[in-house]
Every structure is written in C-alpha cells, then in structure tokens.
Amino acid sequence: MATAPPREAPPDIYLLGSLRSKLVAKLTGLSLRTLQSWHSTDLQPATREPGSRGTPRYYSWVDYQRLCVVSSLREQEVPTQRIRRAIPVLDDLFPGWWEMSLKAYDGPVLGSQSKVHIVLRENFDVVVDVEGGQTTFRDLLGCEVEDTGRELARALALLEERGTLFRKHEFRDAVAMKPEVNAGQPTVRNTSLETRFIEALVRSTSVEEVARLYRVGEQHVRRAAEFERAA
C-alpha cells in the first residue's frame, strides 16, 4: 500500500458557501428534496453559513462540483451505497479534480475518460482516511473497484466536457461561472454582471436598453435572461 501525498487544498474562495440550493439543483438536475436528503444524511452537506434557522442552504464551489459528479454517477445508475463509499475519497483518488470544469475542454470525452481512469487506477492502492481508520480504495470497494473506477472516470470526464454550467452547458456561449468572480455566481461571459441582475433589468426595461447601458452584446443579454428563466 502506498501512502497518499498531502491533499491539495482548494483555495479559500472555492470553499465559501455562496451558491443557493435552488441554483445548484438547476445546474445539477437534482431536486431540492434530494439535496435536502443528502444534506441531512451527510452524503453531500451544504456549507453552512451563519444565520438563523430557515436561512437557505448555500453550497461552496467544491460542494457544487462534487454534486455534479454524484449526479453523473446517478445518471450511470451507480448504486447509492457505492457512491457513498467513493465520493469521500475523491480528493485522494484524483487531486485537484474540483478544477476540471474550469479548464477549456480540448478533446473527445472518451479520450478524457481514458486519461482520468489511468490516474484513478494509479491511486487505487493509496491509503486514505475513512470513518473508523484507514484503508485503500481497492479494499473499500472490493470486487467493484474496477467498475467504480470506470464510472468515476466517466463522471469526471463529463464534468470537464460540460464545464461549469454542467446540465445547462448550452448557455456557456453567454454565461460563465468562476469561483473568483462573484464567488461563483453565474455571470454574463467576460463581465462581472450576474445573470439574475441582468434578467431583472430586462424585465423592467428591455434587452436593447440593458445592452446599451452596460456595453454588452444584445445576444449575451438575451441569453443571460434565458438562462435565468430556464427550469
């Protein structure tokens, strides 16, 4: 067994609870009820912010990216029990995975999947911390380790392919998300204008007026408003 190298810690901004559960549900395709259940059972808890009871749940960038991976695994019909075993050790299996969606996609998903799978397999025997002690991913998953490795590789490759908007990636021509820009809130591409702000302005004025006021292309304004209205 190999000892895991020190974990690569995400920048602080990646850990800031800033993304509301409604937005996360929209981008991951997971229902609010599912997010609530996973929060309550610690499959993927939200990053709690100070506030009174009833304050909406907020997720950090890393929380959100992990939920994208979980959503992909569910799409592959991976049993929840296996997801619960695999997700907590993802940081050890693929260091820095939470930045994959931020990188420009540069190839077929199957090519990316193969490269990711190689990295995962190299770390199957690395010792990882789990509740109650230490083990390896191979021992944790037993005879299912190869299948789970392939499923994780597929999920991570899709994260890279779809980008930061994940299931709403059809809007990436005009909408972007970056942790360092407005703490990850969806913005009009190449600006710091949040899409929800733009959509509210469009409702009270017009696409043309907003584009003129903020010197943004009308198509970008229109697409930002469409993104906010999308289910």
Q: Decide if pLDDT at 89 tops 80.
A: yes
Highest mean predicted confidence (pLDDT) among 35-44, 49-58, 68-77, 130-139:
68-77
Provide the pLDDT for residue 190.
95
Q: Which residues pair with 20 in a beta bridge?
A: 58
Same domain, 126 and 204: no
Q: Decide if pLDDT at 6 tops 70.
A: no
123, 139, 168 — which closes off a domain? 168
C-alpha distance from residue 31 to each of 23, 25, 27, 35, 83 (Å) = 11, 6, 10, 6, 17
C-alpha distance from residue 126 to each of 37, 93, 144 (Å) = 31, 8, 17
Whose tokens are 């929840």? That residue is: 80
Q: What does the pLDDT look like over 137-162, one tens digit per residue? A: 899 889 999 999 999 999 999 999 99
- What are the tokens at 165? 């908007």
Provide the pLDDT for residue 76.
93
Q: Decide if pLDDT at 191 tops 80.
A: yes
Same domain, 158 and 215: no
- What are the tokens at 91? 């940081």
Provide the pLDDT for residue 3.
57
Q: Which residues does 142 contact at the CB level (< 8 Å), separation at least 6?
A: none
Same domain, 20 and 56: yes
Confidence class of residue 69 from pLDDT cuts 50, 70 and 90?
A: very high
State percent of the chain over pLDDT 90.
62
Provide the pLDDT for residue 113.
79
Same domain, 130 and 30: yes
Same domain, 160 and 213: no
Neighbours of 173 (CB within 10 A): 11
In a domain, 115, yes or no: yes
What CATH number corresponds to the domain at position 154? Answer: 1.10.1660
Same domain, 154 and 214: no
Top pLDDT among 95 and 186 is at: 186
In a domain, 58, yes or no: yes
187 within 8 A of 193, measured Cβ to Cβ? yes
**Domain span holding position 138:** 6-168
In a domain, 148, yes or no: yes
In a domain, 10, yes or no: yes
In a domain, 138, yes or no: yes
Same domain, 110 and 127: yes
Total number of domains in the chain = 2
Same domain, 26 and 138: yes
What CATH number corresponds to the domain at position 190? Answer: 1.10.10
Q: What does the pLDDT look like over 205-221, one tens digit per residue? A: 999 999 999 999 999 99
Provide the pLDDT for residue 31.
94
121, 141, 168 — which closes off a domain? 168
Provide the pLDDT for residue 104.
63
Same domain, 128 and 218: no
Q: What does the pLDDT look like over 13-39, one tens digit per residue? A: 999 989 999 999 999 999 999 998 888
Same domain, 208 and 112: no
Confidence class of residue 52 from pLDDT cuts 50, 70 and 90?
A: very low
In a domain, 1, yes or no: no
Q: Decide if pLDDT at 107 tops 80.
A: no
What DSSP letter does each residue of the chain carry, written as one string? -EEPPPP-PPPGGGGS--EEHHHHHHHH---HHHHHHHHHTTSS--B--S--TTPPPEE-HHHHHHHHHHHHHHHTT--HHHHHHHGGGHHHHSTTGGGGGGSPP-S-HHHHHHHHHHHHHHTTTEEEEETTEEEEHHHHHGGGHHHHHHHHHHHHHHHHHH-TTGGGGGGTTTEE--TTSGGG--EETTS--BHHHHHHHHHHS-HHHHHHHHT--HHHHHHHHHHHH--
Same domain, 109 and 17: yes
Q: Decide if pLDDT at 62 tops 70.
A: yes
Same domain, 89 and 196: no
Mean pLDDT of the 69-78 span: 94
116, 137, 168 — which closes off a domain? 168
